[in-house]
Amino acid sequence: MALYSEKVMDHFRNPRNVGVIEDADGIGEVGNAKCGDIMKMYLKIDDDVITDVKFETFGCGSAIASSSMATELIKGQPVSEAMKLTNKAVAEALDGLPDYKMHCSVLAEEAIQSALEDYEKRKADK
């Protein structure tokens, strides 16, 4: 059996939503101390709906595929739904990740949570 699903390979080779949103409403950056990989997530939010999302990853192939899939899953979703996104859901949407690569999908979940927290904080500060 191939180590990585076709979906993982597809999102690794052609990651969706790579880049930066200059006037983002929420930005989250997280890292994994063990592997040293870093992920940054940018959200554009209107009326509590995620209208655009972009990411930058200095990380492994699974991290790239996970963040790409995660952005697809939350784009167009209300903030309340995006908050519920788990790394398991990301891995499932990718038709699975090897066990020792599950932490890469955790990075995607944490980056989104961190960007949403930043958004909520900015909203409260307004």
Site for ligand FES, rule CB under 6 A? 32, 35, 37, 59-60, 62-63, 104, 107
Residue 42: strand pairing partners: 27, 54
Q: Which is nearer to ligand FES, 28 or 59 (CB)?
A: 59
Q: How far is the CB of 59 from ligand FES (least distance, A)?
A: 4
Contact in structure between 32 and 103 (CB atoms under 8 Å): yes
CB 109 within 8 A of CB 86: yes
Give the residue with the Cβ less far from ligand FES, 21 or 60.
60
What is the number of other CB atoms lying within 10 angstroms of the CB of residue 33? 6
| C-beta closer to ligand FES: residue 32 or 77 | 32
* In the complex, minimum distance from the CB of residue 23 to ligand FES, in angstroms, rounded to a whole number: 28
Q: Give me the least distance between CB of 11 and ligand FES, in Å please.
A: 13
Measured distance CA(40)–CA(18) in Å, rounded: 10
- Residue 79 CA, chain-centre distance (Å), reads 14
- Could you list the active site residues? 35, 104
